[in-house]
C-alpha cells in the first residue's frame, strides 16, 4: 500500500489517494461571511495540486460563535450560491471536498462582542494573552440542543451546496474538545463526569448529522489523540471515544492534538512530552487503529514523501498535510511525478511560547494569503512581519464582523 492507492470509505465512496489537504484556518470570508473570491482562488490551487481529499478551514455552524474574525459561516441558505461555487472549485481536480464544521466554545476572542458558551465556566490560561478571552458561561440544556441542531443544519446545507462530506471538529480545544476534557468539562449532569457523558455531545451531533444527510455523504470526526495537558483528555480516552463512534456511521477519524493552551498541532506539548518533529501523532494513530472500525487519518508535521509512505505502510489509512501544502500546493502532484519536495518553514524559537504559536500561525496564513492572490508563497518571511500583518488584518476583520452582526440584528 502506498500514498497513491485509493481508499474506499464505509459509505461506499472512494478517495483517489491517501493524501489529504488538512484544515487550516484562513479567515478569508467576504463581508457576508461567505467564501470570498480570494478563498476560492486558494482552493483552486489545492484542487489542481493532486490531493485525494481537501478539507476546508473552519466553517462555523453559528455566526455568533466564531473561531476568529473573517471566518466562513454556513447557518442558512442566504449565501448558498457562493458555497456551490466553492464546492465546484474544490472538486474540480477529482478530490473529495469536505467542510470542517465547528463551534469555538470558550476559544472565541471577546473583541468579537458575543456571549461565550462552554461546558463549564473555565477560562483560558494563556499568560498575558488570557485577557483576549472572556470567562465562558456554562451551556444550558437548551443551548446544547441548539448546537446539536446547528451542526446538523450546516451539514445539510453543505450537502445541498455540493460538498461530498463534513468533518465534525472535536479537537484543538474547541467546543466538542472542551466537552471531552475533564479540565474544561466540570459538569455534574448527563453531559459531564464519566467519559461516556463527556462524549455524549459529540455522539449526539454525529447522530443528528448522519440522520440529516444522505448515506453517500461522508461524515468524519477530527479528534485529539490527547490534549497534552496534565489531567486532561488522554490517548486512552481517545481510544474509548473512537470505540464509541464505531457504530455511529462515521466514515473517517482524523487524529491531531492540542489546543490554544497547548499547541501540540505545532509540535509543542505542555505535559512534559516531546513530540517528534515530523508526523507528530503517528504513534497514537497506530494505537487507536487497534479499536477503530473506520479509516484513520493522521495530521501533524508531515512534509516528506518518505514519511508519508511510511505512515501508510504502517497501517494508517490517510495522511493529512497542512503547512507543507501552504508552501507548495502542488506537493501531491510533485510526489506523483517522482520529485521529493519537502517544504518547510523555519522554526520560531521565541521564549514566549504562546506568542511564538501565534507567530507560527501568522506565517502559515501569510502563505495562504499569497496563494489567494495568485502569488508564490514566501516561507522566509519574517515571523514578526507576518504577525504584525496578521494583527492588522484581524483588527479590520473584527470591525467587519461586528458590522455584519449589527446588520443581521436589525
User: Mean pLDDT, to the nearest integer, of 51-79?
Assistant: 97
Tell me if 197 sits within 8 A of 251, measured CB to CB.
no
The DSSP-derived string for 387-404 is: HHHHHHHHHHHHHHHHHH
pLDDT at site 324: 96
pLDDT digits (tens, 9 = 90+) for 303-339: 999 999 999 998 899 999 999 999 999 999 999 999 9
Measure the N-to-C terminal CA separation of the chain; round to a whole number of Å. 56
Question: Helix crossing, 235-245 with 200-212: angle to 10°?
Answer: 30
- pLDDT bracket for residue 190 (50, 70, 90): very high
Q: What are the residue boundaries of the structural domains of the chain, listed by start?
A: 7-348
Name the strand (E) or helix (H) holding 86. helix 80-91
- Kind and range of the H or E run holding 160: helix 141-161
Q: Report CA-CA distances (Å) from 228 to 157, 173, 259.
A: 34, 11, 8
How large is the average pLDDT for residues 47-74?
97
CA distances 202 to 105, 206, 224, Å, are 13, 6, 13
Q: Half-sphere exposure (CA, 13 Å, Cβ side) for 51?
A: 32
Share of the chain above pLDDT 70, in %: 93
Q: What are phi and psi of 137, to 5 degrees?
A: -95, 140
In Å, what is the CA distance from 31 to each residue of 23, 35, 398? 22, 9, 11
Question: How many CB atoms lie under 10 A from the CB of residue 77?
Answer: 12
| Fold classification of 7-348 (topology level) | TIM Barrel (3.20.20)
Give pTM, 2 decimals. 0.94
Amino acid at each position: 500500500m502506498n500514498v497513491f492507492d485509493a481508499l474506499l470509505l464505509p459509505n461506499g465512496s472512494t478517495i483517489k489517494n491517501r493524501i489529504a489537504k488538512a484544515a487550516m484556518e484562513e479567515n478569508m470570508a467576504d463581508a457576508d461571511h461567505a467564501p470570498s473570491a480570494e478563498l476560492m482562488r486558494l482552493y483552486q490551487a489545492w484542487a489542481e495540486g493532486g490531493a485525494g481529499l481537501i478539507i476546508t478551514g473552519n466553517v462555523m455552524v453559528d455566526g455568533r460563535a466564531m473561531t476568529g474574525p473573517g471566518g466562513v459561516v454556513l447557518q442558512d441558505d442566504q449565501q448558498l450560491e457562493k458555497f456551490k461555487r466553492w464546492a465546484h472549485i474544490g472538486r474540480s481536480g477529482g478530490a473529495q471536498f469536505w467542510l470542517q464544521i465547528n463551534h469555538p466554545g470558550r476559544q472565541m476572542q471577546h473583541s468579537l462582542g458575543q456571549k461565550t458558551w462552554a461546558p463549564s465556566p473555565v477560562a483560558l490560561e494563556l499568560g498575558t494573552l488570557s485577557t483576549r478571552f472572556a470567562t465562558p458561561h456554562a451551556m444550558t440544556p437548551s443551548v446544547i440542543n441548539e448546537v446539536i441542531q446547528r451542526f446538523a443544519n450546516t451539514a445539510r446545507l453543505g450537502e445541498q451546496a455540493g460538498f461530498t462530506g463534513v468533518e465534525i471538529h472535536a479537537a484543538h480545544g474547541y467546543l466538542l474538545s472542551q466537552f471531552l476534557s475533564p479540565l474544561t468539562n466540570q459538569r455534574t449532569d448527563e453531559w459531564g463526569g464519566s467519559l461516556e457523558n463527556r462524549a455524549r455531545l459529540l455522539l449526539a451531533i454525529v447522530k443528528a448529522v448522519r440522520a440529516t444527510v444522505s448515506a453517500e455523504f461522508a461524515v468524519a470526526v477530527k479528534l485529539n489523540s490527547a490534549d497534552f495537558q496534565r489531567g486532561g483528555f488522554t490517548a486512552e480516552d481517545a481510544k474509548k471515544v473512537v470505540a464509541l463512534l464505531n457504530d455511529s456511521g462515521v466514515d473517517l477519524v482524523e487524529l491531531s492534538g492540542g489546543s490554544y493552551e497547548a499547541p501540540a498541532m505545532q509540535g509543542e506539548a505542555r505535559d512534559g512530552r516531546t513530540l517528534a518533529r515530523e508526523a507528530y501523532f503517528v504513534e497514537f494513530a497506530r494505537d487507536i487503529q487497534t479499536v477503530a472500525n473506520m479509516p484513520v487519518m493522521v495530521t501533524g508535521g508531515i512534509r516528506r514523501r518518505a514519511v508519508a509512505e511510511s505512515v501508510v505502510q504502517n497501517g494508517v489509512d490517510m495522511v493529512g498535510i497542512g503547512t507543507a501544502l501552504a508552501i507548495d500546493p502542488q506537493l501531491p502532484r510533485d510526489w506523483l511525478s517522482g520529485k521529493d519536495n519537502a517544504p518547510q518553514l523555519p522554526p520560531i524559537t521565541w521564549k514566549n511560547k504562546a506568542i511564538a504559536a501565534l507567530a507560527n500561525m501568522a506565517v502559515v496564513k501569510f502563505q495562504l494569503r499569497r496563494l489567494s492572490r495568485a502569488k508564490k508563497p514566501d516561507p522566509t518571511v519574517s515571523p514578526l512581519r507576518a504577525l504584525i500583518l496578521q494583527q492588522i488584518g484581524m483588527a479590520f476583520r473584527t470591525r467587519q464582523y461586528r458590522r455584519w452582526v449589527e446588520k443581521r440584528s436589525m
